[in-house]
Amino acid sequence: MLVPGSKLGDFQVTEEVGRGGMGAVYRARQLSLGRDVAIKVLPPELARDAQTAARFQAEAQRMAQLQHPGIAQVYTVGEHDGQHYFAMQYLPGGSLQQRLARGPIGLAQAVEIAAQVAEALDYAHSRGIIHRDIKPANIMFDGHGRAVVTDFGIAKAADGTMMTATGIALGTPAYMSPEQVKGNPIDGRADIYSLGVVLYEMVCGRPPFVGENPLSVAMKHLSEAPLPPRVMRANLPEWLESIILKALSKEPADRFGSAGEMAAALRTRTQVAWSATSPTVDRAHVGVGGETRVLAPPARRSSAPVLVALALVLMIAGIGTIIYGLAREVTGTPEGESGIAGPGQPGPPGPSGGQEEPTPEPPVVEVPNVVGMTVEEAKSLLSAFNVIENAPRHSDEVPVGRIVRQSTYYARRGDAVYIVVSLGPRSWERVDLERTAWRQVTGQPSLFVDVAPGSQMVSISGTTSGAKWPKETGVEMGPFPCRQAWFEVSFMDASPDYYHVVGLAVIGQLAGGRYPDRFAVEYARDETRGYRCARTRSKNWKIVGKRHGFFGDEASNFHTLRVEYDASTRKGIGYVDGEKVGECVVPLGDLTARAYFTTSENGQEVNVIFRNFIGQFRP
């Protein structure tokens, strides 16, 4: 991880602005030209793999080939001190995902954004590049408000060349086309489907399909028809609804022939023909200038083979347990009943063979945006709806007591609207050995651990018993349920000259794991062989960073070990005396901090003192 002020060749890092499966993105200043750029950096743990580094370079090369105002421009590709990076256009306008989080988007703006993205995709497709992961997070805005497509990390060339690293998801479930879900060959029409999902979300306030997990969302792309956008937003023009539904056709052949064709329809506000291709919809009917008839579902075939295939695709793609949490879906007709007929359209046949009159329902109306308001203000403004408070959550942006999220922006009067109240930012909680419950760790029974009451001083003394490596002796605190944490301890090692290690580790076991994982920073020395180094270790005791001769000549001085861990990125960083030694990605659960001594030598004297074992964590 780079910190502000770090340099990569001609670029000086200002701040981190994003992070994805193929690297972190930083805002930086190009010193020679005096301009701001965005730098994508391949993490060190991935850069060591030659194939991954080649894929990273391939992404930059693909993007560099695409010279279009709607595609992020790549300036240069480089490597500095083993760090692979490429510099590209800096986009100060943020992402579409951030805009959607602030509330619904106006129709004119949504149409313009979709048209600009379609034009950019049409250009990429004409050069043989399929994006495969169009979603709000990958649509950014430049300083003039123009939509710009970014992140070609999993793009596919027309010749079949893939740019997907092992473990990178082949798309995002909420925006994946049916053919991507099934693992079938794809072309540019897969991007058209994903753009249709994005356009639906912009005008309706939510994607067409939501669910409890990626597999359920993927199944809906295959088997369900989206709720017509005009049911969600009554003032939506018919021509725009027809464009959205054509883009969301299950069969690629029923979508627009090209992204340019979709862009032209948006620019000219043309009502287009679209085929209803859901298994529950009459495919023979074309939805322009006539009725749209939804039929009762046909006899259901076993979905087990599809479920197994989907599970394999999602596992191989590295899609985690992403929870798509809208508190309530606005749904159509319950399963097993006949379908919905629009105003003035005949309903499905009744028992006598005639047409039943559709039951009138209240119209879908716009729900005011109450994010940032107090609960009282929100309930007053949403008096026409059934306001329900969900469990509160922490937010770094929204002050305590104000609304941080609402479930929908379109609903019928009387419907439930769920709100979430902010608990404010998570505060750092301080822990230390003196005031926190701690445990003694005795890896070698012949060693004695002494903690003076009311003191931050711990001594480890005795004679080593040659325990099987590694057996640690020391003290530990925790576990702490935390999102971010740091722990620190100072030590003095006055032990004789033989090979031994003094370390500080964070240890945590994820739910379902058999054994706990760990990340540690250590001081290892063997003065008889002139060996002395600081190092960091990941799980399985793999060394991920090392500096020899780090501690100078005085072994009796106090030195400081520090470990930082961020659960959101799963990254641990180790420091010795304020100097970074190494970092790595390691998944940890609730953290236990351990200060320890260990060795495999037998009959050796031990004299180690720890002091000021402290830390802070954010739940």
Q: Supply the residues annotated as catalytic.
A: 133
Nearest-angstrom CA–CA distance, 246 and 575: 56
Q: At what angle do helices 107-126 and 188-204 cross, to 10 degrees?
A: 170
Q: Where are the beta strands (DSSP E) in 443-570?
A: 447-451, 457-465, 472-480, 484-493, 500-508, 517-526, 531-537, 543-548, 559-566
Query: Do 275 and 286 form a contact (C-beta atoms < 8 A)?
Result: yes
Angle among Cα 386, 391, 397 to the nearest 5 degrees reads: 100
Question: For residue 72, which of 110, 109, 30, 40 has the smallest C-alpha distance?
Answer: 40
Nearest-angstrom CA–CA distance, 324 and 342: 29
Angle among Cα 429, 433, 434 to the nearest 5 degrees reads: 95
Nearest-angstrom CA–CA distance, 6 and 81: 12
Q: At what angle do helices 107-126 and 259-268 cross, to 10 degrees?
A: 150
Query: Do 36 and 29 form a contact (C-beta atoms < 8 A)?
Result: yes
Nearest-angstrom CA–CA distance, 602 and 605: 9
Q: How far, CA to CA in Å, does 24 sit from each of 16, 36, 38, 568, 572?
A: 7, 16, 10, 13, 15
C-beta neighbour count of 146 within 10 angstroms: 16
Query: Do 432 and 613 form a contact (C-beta atoms < 8 A)?
Result: yes
18 beta partners: 25
Helix (H) or strand (E) holding 264: helix 259-268
Query: Do 255 and 193 form a contact (C-beta atoms < 8 A)?
Result: yes
Which residues are CB-neighbours of 280 under 8 A, at least 6 positions away? 224, 225, 294, 295, 296, 297, 298, 339
Cα 93 to chain center, whole Å? Answer: 20
Q: At what angle do helices 188-204 and 259-268 cross, to 10 degrees?
A: 30
Query: Do 526 and 601 form a contact (C-beta atoms < 8 A)?
Result: no
Q: What are the two backbone dihedrals, phi and then psi, of residue 601, each rounded to the nearest 5 degrees?
A: -75, 155
